[in-house]
Structure 1
Amino acid sequence: MKVLMLTWEYPPYIVGGLGMACYGLFKALAGLGVTVDFILPVKEDVCFEIKNPEEASHPRIKTDKDDEVEGLKGEAGANKKPLEFFKVVYELPEEGAYASLKDFIVEVSKRLEVVPSKLGVEVPEAVILRLKEILLQGNHMISKVSYYTERALRLAEKVDFDLVHAHDWLTYPAGLMLKKYFKKPLVSHIHATEFDRAIGFGHPLIHEIEYLGLNYADRVIAVSRYTANIIKEHYFVPEEKIRIVYNAYYVETESPQKVRKFKEPVVLFLGRLTPQKGPTIFLELAKKVLERTRKVRFLVAGSGEMERDLMLWASSLGYGAHIMFTGFLKR
């Protein structure tokens, strides 16, 4: 079997929870004899192939011009240059026009005649047209999704695949269009919902993409019972369509070499700077500790829509270099 995977992350470049989940999944599928081709948000027209578990750490690049780019691990080559990734910065939405999310979803359902109870339902042309409207919204976040979708459709013409597997809302438009145009079944994998990322209503366009991507998939994979309950309750995804697959993990056999930069103990926050991850709680704890002692440093590693506000808040506390920000880290 050959699976075309759509994902926004894969180690070692963008290594969030999604990237590590994909690494474990792709490696396990390859061990079962499944060929995995996957498309990442890179500016070059390339996709990656894994045919056995060992290749999960060194995916083979598939391109018409093999000498133009280097692999994920940076194989040597005189004419090779690194892949150029683009990333989405989550943008907090303006106030929604609907009093409740339920009213919003019901309105979308009626307008597009969504039939969530049917398994294997075809993707209507009205849904494709609506997705194209959304992708033309023009803001930074949606424009990157539009760019990825366009690239995925073009690359899919060069890949032989039996199934499309899309990870989270960023890839759902591409997944739905591939299902429509290539007549292939679609699995939508939901790692986190807009309810997890946002405070309050959330971004209506993301809610709409999640709603359509989940209801028009042939199968939905949720990473937890909690997530499964969320999409059943708020997006009306039928339970018979959902399968729960927990994220696995692997243990490094070699301990990394540690280099101590500071004499004091260091407390680390590592993650996306978004409400879902709780960075404000980390700074509140840092404040309480630093009120008692300055013999400790707090390090915030990561980026996100809250980064500027968090830095301003930390600066206003007056603890100087005892609270430090690294910004986005590739590795």
Structure 2
Amino acid sequence: MLTYLYKIPLPVHHKDEKSKMKKLRVLMLGWEDQPILNGGVGKACFHLAEAMAKQVELTMIVPQADHIALDQHAEVVGLNSLDLTEVKQAPIAKTFERFATTHRVPAALFPYEDPNVYYTGGAQEEEVELDEETVSSLENTAAPTEAPKAAETTFSDGKPEIKIVSGAKGTMNFEVIQFARYAARLASHKQIDVVYAHDWMTFLAGMEIKTQLKVPLVVHVHSLSFDRQVGEPLGWVYELENKALHEADMILTVSERTARMISKRYGVSAKKIKVIYNGADRVAPSAVTSTKRKQVTFLGRLVAQKGPLQFLKVAKQVLKKDPEVRFVVAGHGPQYEEAQQMMRRLGIEDAVTFTGFLPPAQAEALLKNSSVFCLPALSEPFGLAALEATQAGLPVVITHQTGAAEVLPEASVADCNDTEGLAEHILQLLQDKTLRKKQVEANQRAVQKLTWESTADQIMESLHHVLLLQEQN
């Protein structure tokens, strides 16, 4: 791995020196209202905020999602009889208020939607004009729609806080502009040292706050247009990413693969890119799972970049040599119907089960009852599910296009288009108990070193480094 290309020499502090350092005031622009809707990235943002709050004065600004949006993004389409209330209501322990000052703004931001067909909640859209200043940071932006009406309460100091939104929803680009507007309004009443923004939905807000408060901007890239569109991206999301990556004072990425892509595809200097791998939940690793059931599982959103269609092609190859193997596709997403059609076209419907969305507890139970985890991703910046599968005692089969391959030393890896190679890995792991044990135990040792606390420490060093550079300039 070309790790040295993206390493930034950061100041080294002894424990006593750290205790004397100024406690940073960090404004974090988060991903979702509660970490239950958007898979790995929402989970990563939550755990990073939780760990960082022990070291900084942390303020969170996150989008507010309404019940219609929650229903849409937690659709249960499979065989399981799940109660949607499990999805709508996150437990108290999983809310940001537990460790950070949290403000919500009226924008229903769901990062994996197609901006051109964004959810409208059934409301009639009306086109209105926005002033040039509002949209100056976006190029090729489609006409937004009427702004939702927001009810305001007050801070203890009498300043406005946005809490409730009602009315029509617009296109995704409008929601991003809404988020930027209100986030900047909230930030104007804060004293912060650095703004820390996660992925393209929050980049416009981050740039606006940087300009307004004259503080450095650190962006954390979990996914790029090149990943989500699996090809050559066009349109305003790519333009927004490109502008933000150049405007940012530092870029954090979840893998070397993403760092190289930013440098190559966006023309950003590698000197301001730092790789910081995601952490993993602190859980005791499970024993190596059994192969009695011969069950291979895919767990994730059903979107092109994660390769659910590839998974079915791999299943077809496996079944040619071992018809007793069963396959589970767990998750929801825009490729659900297409995946079912492909399953029938391949003639493997008797061997494949679609579960729909699974809450965390059920997803964990599924993994522990499986034999092999397979993520044949076409372009996956990291892939937290591969780490979760490892902790559950599964050997993992992933692609060279998956960032998690950089941290799982014994994962079985093949190219995303090599369905026969991926199938051979699966068959080998189902047949060779010694290989299964060796792979799982080695990967579990590696995962135990990846904690959210260590990830947060690296982020903290990066934030201090950015402020140091600002002082020097």
Identify the residue that residue 235 of structure 1 maps to in structure 2: 266
1:86-125 counterparts in 2 under 5 A? 87-91=110-114
Which of residues 59, 69, 78 is equivalent to 1:37?
59
- Look up the equivalent residue of 1:214 and give its one-letter code: L
CA RMSD of aligned residues (A): 3.8
Identify the residue that residue 327 of structure 1 maps to in structure 2: 356
The percentage of aligned residue pairs carrying the same residue is 36
Contact between 1:303 and 1:328, CA under 8 Å: does it hold in 2? yes
Identify the residue that residue 302 of structure 1 maps to in structure 2: 331
Identify the residue that residue 45 of structure 2 maps to in structure 1: 22
**SS at structure 1 position matched to 2:343:** helix
* Cα distance in 2 between the residues matched to 1:184 and 1:25: 21
Contact between 1:152 and 1:174, CA under 8 Å: does it hold in 2? yes
Which of residues 152, 155, 159 is equivalent to 2:186?
155
Contact between 2:197 and 2:206, CA under 8 Å: does it hold in 1? yes
* Cα distance in 2 between the residues matched to 1:234 and 1:201: 10
Q: Which range is displaced more, 281-290 or 13-22?
A: 13-22
Contact between 1:88 and 1:144, CA under 8 Å: does it hold in 2? no
Q: 1:265 to 1:144 in 2, by over 3 A?
A: farther
Q: CA deviation at 1:200?
A: 2.5
Superposition TM-score, scaled by structure 2 size: 0.49
Identify the residue that residue 5 of structure 1 maps to in structure 2: 28
* Cα distance in 1 between the residues matched to 2:140 and 2:297: 41
Q: 1:10 to 1:17 in 2, by over 3 A?
A: farther
* Cα distance in 2 between the residues matched to 1:36 and 1:91: 31
- Look up the equivalent residue of 1:7 and give its one-letter code: G
Gaps of 5+ in 1: 45-54, 66-83, 95-124, 256-262
**SS at structure 2 position matched to 1:202:** coil
Superposition TM-score, scaled by structure 1 size: 0.67
**SS at structure 1 position matched to 2:282:** coil
Query: Residue deviations 1:185-206, cap 9 Å, x none?
Result: 2111112221222232123222
**SS at structure 1 position matched to 2:278:** coil
* Cα distance in 2 between the residues matched to 1:182 and 1:156: 8
Contact between 1:166 and 1:188, CA under 8 Å: does it hold in 2? yes
Q: 1:223 to 1:64 in 2, by over 3 A?
A: closer
Q: 1:162 to 1:275 in 2, by over 3 A?
A: same
- Look up the equivalent residue of 1:287 and give its one-letter code: K
Which of residues 311, 314, 319 is equivalent to 2:343?
314
* Cα distance in 1 between the residues matched to 2:196 and 2:349: 46
* Cα distance in 1 between the residues matched to 2:200 and 2:303: 17
Q: CA deviation at 1:213?
A: 0.7
Contact between 2:116 and 2:171, CA under 8 Å: does it hold in 1? no
Identify the residue that residue 275 of structure 1 maps to in structure 2: 304
- Look up the equivalent residue of 1:207 and give its one-letter code: Y
Instruction: State the 4+ residue runs in structure 1 displaced beyond 6 angstroms.
Output: none
Identify the residue that residue 232 of structure 2 maps to in structure 1: 201
Q: Which range is displaced more, 177-186 or 16-25?
A: 16-25
Q: Which structure: greater helix fraction?
A: 2
Q: 1:162 to 1:321 in 2, by over 3 A?
A: farther
**SS at structure 2 position matched to 1:189:** strand
Identify the residue that residue 96 of structure 2 maps to in structure 1: 59
Aligned length: 268
Does residue 131 (structure 1) correspond to residue 138 (structure 2)? The answer is yes
**SS at structure 2 position matched to 1:272:** coil
Which of residues 210, 223, 246 is equivalent to 1:215?
246
Query: Residue deviations 1:233-259, cap 9 Å, x none?
Result: 22121233222222222332497xxxx
Which of residues 259, 279, 285 is equivalent to 1:248?
279
Q: 1:289 to 1:228 in 2, by over 3 A?
A: closer
* Cα distance in 2 between the residues matched to 1:304 and 1:2: 37
**SS at structure 2 position matched to 1:284:** helix
Which of residues 181, 203, 215 is equivalent to 1:184?
215
